Structure 1
Amino acid sequence: MKQQTIIVTGASTGIGKAIAGLFLQHGHNVVINSANGDNLKATFNELGHHDRLAMVTGSISSPATGKQLVDTAVERFGAVDVLVNNAGIFEPKPFLDVDEAHLDSFLTINLKGTYFTSQAAIRQMLKQGEGSIINIGTVLVDHAIGGFPATAPISSKGGIHALTKQLATEFGKNNIRVNAIAPGIIRSPLQSKSGVSNADSLAGLHLLNRIGETQDVAELALYLAGSNFITGEIINLDGGHVSGHHIN
């Protein structure tokens, strides 16, 4: 794969940080983003390769952040080849306890953020004649877990799955490929934020009887970025979570 320029949102920790690090290891240019400036600066310093790394602080809930990410990538590295829409929030809450503000927080950050950041990137990709967008969804859209009420975030992620297929259809003739990765349980800071103190306790949800690692997601993102004939796919990265279950 030729050297590419990658934008990774939500890249200061967890999955986004692993994706940014792997692309840098493979010689690509990377623009990282987070709403948390302190975390982003720490990750920027940790990742190194500063001749091929730039950062933009800001919430993707604002369309201006997406535009700034694209402008930074073009000004610094000359292109936007790949956008990884990783930034998002997730929190379980019983359906009957969800109020409008709680629901809006997920729709605004997860769905609207992915939507308008993609819009900014596609404008640039059309000028270049090609590009790739990789969205991060969840297997819970198609395979819910009883006892884990999360209608608000999963509704927003369902919108991201639908958006993935729509964008792939609308821009396929422009050689812009749009796919989504739907992770199962991945070891990341998101687990503790969701109230899961021991992520490994959920290993039994997967046929492989283990949870995933952020590197697993990063490796799939790297593959999708280099592929020129995969589009419109929601790829489950879930250790067999959707395929079946163990009896005990």
Structure 2
Amino acid sequence: MTNVFVTVDQVETPARFIDVRFNLMDNNEGRTQYEKEHVAGAVYFDLEKDLSDMSKQAGRHPMPEKEQLIELFEHVGLHLADRIYIYDQGGAPFAPRAWWMLKYAGFENVSIVNGGFEALKNAGYATTSNKESFDRSSITPNWQQDIYADREYVKAITEGAKEAILLDARAAIRYRGEHEPLDPVAGHIPTAKNFDWEQVKDGTHLVVTDELKQAVPTDQEVVVYCGSGVTASPLYTVLKEAGYDHVKLYVGSYSDWITKYPIATGEE
């Protein structure tokens, strides 16, 4: 089984690289950085243009349709058997979001480069500003529905119809409903526990922590969510790195949940 995270010295070639640098406060910054300098051969996936369907009303970073993902992967010439390495600026949620999307489509040999772009550059990987071009591919995805949770699946958990832990990846003050800078309603999904994703961030690396393993039993299903499905992705990937078998991502997350169902505040 391929490790979720690799260090630069564990990168094997030949390989395909995907650059997903992004800034939630400036949605042009990542592409600008890519066009200025990227690992030679790397293609760019944009969080909002490629890894979300911003035309949908299903949270702030909605799940693309399967047909959109197929087009994205085929356009840049990816094959399911490719060895693929994803990087962002390091210690960010964007490589985990892309990793989850690729795993959802059935790509098996895909890893996140801990340390991000600078680690690859400092290790001597060639960089360029050239526009990358690959022959179009044709793939038949092996969709992994068991890693995806929608709003109704989460509702069943809150009602006790399904047994799973809901894990809220946002800061504790947002979880408790004391401060909400982005969504119109403050609080969390009922029954959810809180574990801020920043707790698995160590500089430009994402790491498994004892605190996370203590907070989440290994023998239970876990459904992770955040505000829009982006910052829950690091928790998802770190849980998988730690050996948790049954983990799902609620891509719509809290911003999708509040469009239909009630919330809770304070501590569960």
The verdict on a shared fold, with TM-score over 0.5 as the criterion, is no
Q: Which has the higher contact order (CA 8 A, sep 6+)?
A: 2
Greater share of residues in helix: 1
